[in-house]
Amino acid sequence: MNARYFVRKLSTLVVTLFLTVSFNFLLFHVLPGSPVQLLARSGHYDAAAKASLTKLFGLNHGLLTQYFIYLKNMVQGDLGFSYTYRKPVTTVLGAAVGNTVLLVGTATAITVFIGIWLGVKAASRANSLTDTAITVTSLTLWSMPDFFTGMILIFAAGVWTHVLPISGIETPGLTVGWLGHLLDIAKHLILPALTLMLVNAAEFSLITRNAMVDVMVDDYMVTARAKGVAKKVIVWHHALRNALLPIVTATALYVGMVLGGAIQVETVFSWPGMGLLIYNSVEQRDYPVLEGCFLLFAIAVIATNFISDILYQVLDARVRNN
């Protein structure tokens, strides 16, 4: 690996993280106004109570001092205190992060696998009925919003046929063993994961198909066919390998999109993850929780883009030589 390239990308990562953290601070400490004023709207807070809350939230310092305190606390793992849940933000996030990772991780694994497989099938049969069917279906699914797809699945599988649960992560009051508990969670996971998969697998299918169609007409591909190389080897080894760069880019961008889509999907299915937590925190104006959620989302997107940059160097010799 090119050490200069790695150091340059790592430096960019550090600067981007710093700017993101700074913007996150300004977004939630300047624009919304004082949380004390928001809490005092009920009229039950006297001057002494307001002063106590101001000190509790650290608002008795200047903005620059608050910023340095924020950085120090963040490095120590302290993201503040939730106005609504009356708990540290890290505790609130900890209960939601695992559920979102389960949903997004499951959906992502299925999405990438099925999307690439469909794209390869379409490209290997370019301009055929199979290619047309996959492309038209992918375009249709890609144009559908996540929440709309979710509501269709809720009606079809939950309201109409009653074959799957439509909300939550587990059945309330269910007393079964650990295996039954896992199966219950898996049943609740199917519809939200399927919603994310249907929309996003369509995107991967189209990107893979277009990238491979471009590669399939290159001179070395024509030469491989002329030499009698098996079609499966040409498609899966040569064509797919050389079409990976757009797919890697799509995967990096996908993380940001799927996290945004998770907010809608988790709200529709009442899945107790970070998406639903963000929705509830917006309604309740719980700015410390929103700040923590946005910070984690930003770190996930930045880290994914950094990994994709490193993969670029591994996959493309032109990048390695720069």
CATH number at residue 217: 1.10.3720.10
Q: Is residue 287 part of a domain?
A: yes
Q: Is residue 59 part of a domain?
A: no
From CA 19, how far away is CA 27, in angstroms rounded? 12
pLDDT level of residue 59 (50, 70, 90 thresholds): low
Q: Is residue 176 part of a domain?
A: yes
Give the total number of structural domains in the chain. 1
Average pLDDT over residues 286-309: 85
Amino acid (1-letter code) at residue 42? S
Q: Which of 29, 8, 12 is nearest to 74 (CA)?
A: 29
Q: Is residue 282 part of a domain?
A: yes
pLDDT in tens, 220-245: 777 777 877 787 777 777 777 777 77
Give residue 32's pLDDT. Answer: 60
pLDDT in tens, 86-107: 888 888 888 888 888 888 888 8
SS3 of the chain: the string is CCHHHHHHHHHHHHHHHHHHHHHHHHHHHCCCCCHHHHHHHHCCCCHHHHHHHHHHCCCCCCHHHHHHHHHHHHHCCCCCECCCCCCEHHHHHHHHHHHHHHHHHHHHHHHHHHHHHHHHHHHHCCCCHHHHHHHHHHHHHHCCCHHHHHHHHHHHHHHHCCCCCCCCCCCCCCCCCHHHHHHHHHHHHHHHHHHHHHHHHHHHHHHHHHHHHHHHCCHHHHHHHHCCCCHHHHHHHHHHHHCHHHHHHHHHHHHHHHHHHHHHHHHHCCCCCHHHHHHHHHHHCCHHHHHHHHHHHHHHHHHHHHHHHHHHHHHCHHHHCC
Q: Is residue 66 part of a domain?
A: no
pLDDT level of residue 133 (50, 70, 90 thresholds): very high
Domain extent for 303: 3-32+79-320
From CA 176, how far away is CA 170, in angstroms rounded? 11
Q: Is residue 298 part of a domain?
A: yes
pLDDT in tens, 63-84: 788 888 888 888 888 888 887 8
Q: Is residue 304 part of a domain?
A: yes
Amino acid (1-letter code) at residue 40? A
Q: Is residue 72 part of a domain?
A: no
